[in-house]
Amino acid sequence: MKILVTGGAGYIGSAAVKKLIGENHQVVVIDNLLKGKKELVDQKAIFYQGDLVDKGLLDNIFSEHQFDAVIHFASYKAAGESMKQLEKYSDNITGTINLLNVMVQYNVKKIIFSSSAAVYGEPQYIPIDENHPTNPINYYGFTKLECEKIIQWYSQLKGITGICLRYFNVAGDAGLNYVDPDAQNIFPIIMEVLINRRDQLTIFGNDYTTSDGTCIRDYVDVNDLVDAHILALDLKKSEVINLGSNSGTSVLELINTFETVSEQKVNWGFSPKRAGDPAKLTASNEKAKSSLNWKPKRNIKDMVKSTLIAYGFKSKPNL
């Protein structure tokens, strides 16, 4: 297949490009390189630097290539920042609309969309399945949900098959040694503590109703996530599917795993809870199992090991 990968120089996108080319697909990448790294893009891929808000660029790309499918990773994704920079995050919606319109123009009938568990908001029950109410509590989650809805309309009215994959917490490395240039998530933040780039990890709250008082989150390995996207290329109808492990890891459990595997102490401290942080967030992945024949192959220790290696921890016996 010939596949356009938007955001293909980013953390997940570059891993997907590597896997797609390894399976002999032809790949074209578009990325604005604000966070993506061109050096991570497989040299067998055709690369365009640009943004999805540039409809003219998209038209040029689609006029030069006949795509079988689009895998759409490109977006801004920091939930906190999204509450302050609505104009920037609105580009998530604008870019998706531009992409869909060009797909219609050039008769491209399949899109795999990178969505998020942020569409759900506060959990009403655990584990969260695809029937859980959607009520985002940040503008980032709102943009993802709006993109899903727009894709659903294009599916109904324009015959585009739209597969919306709702990620929980993506972690680990795909062998590309990705180092996050703007760490917002706990894995790269812990790594910045271990390499002395920041003083400590701040744990928000220690009195949640969990086994050790810290939040529990559902982590899914980036390699498993990429596998799900490739499986989704074979789906014949539009779907919304969670991608998660069906289990959870607390903050203190995660720190302990990093310390055990790296043989280094992680400097951390508690601070007050953040508003809107639920005690536990885990996904039901039953639909992914039935629709995609997908389930995670890698556990939390695997994710920690590959992350440590990506940041240069290669001499430890545990690695």
* Residue numbers annotated as active site: 140
User: Mapping DSSP to helix (H, G, I), strand (E, B) and coil, where does residue 170 land?
Assistant: strand
Helix (H, G, I), strand (E, B) or coil at 111: strand
Tokens in use for 191? Answer: 């790594």
Give the span between the Cα atoms of 167 and 319, in whole angstroms: 27
Q: In this structure, what are the phi and psi dihedrals at residue 268, rounded to the nearest 5 degrees?
A: -145, 160
**Which residue in the block uniquely carries the two structure tokens 């390995």?**
221
Amino acid residing at 55: K
Q: Go through 3-13 and write b for each residue having 16 or more CB atoms within 10 A of its CB, e for each that does not.
A: bbbbbbbbbbb
Residues with Cβ within 8 Å of 113's Cβ and at least 6 positions away in sequence, in order, are 72, 96, 147, 148, 151, 162, 163, 164, 165
Q: Determine contact, residues 249/216, Cβ cutoff 8 Å.
A: yes
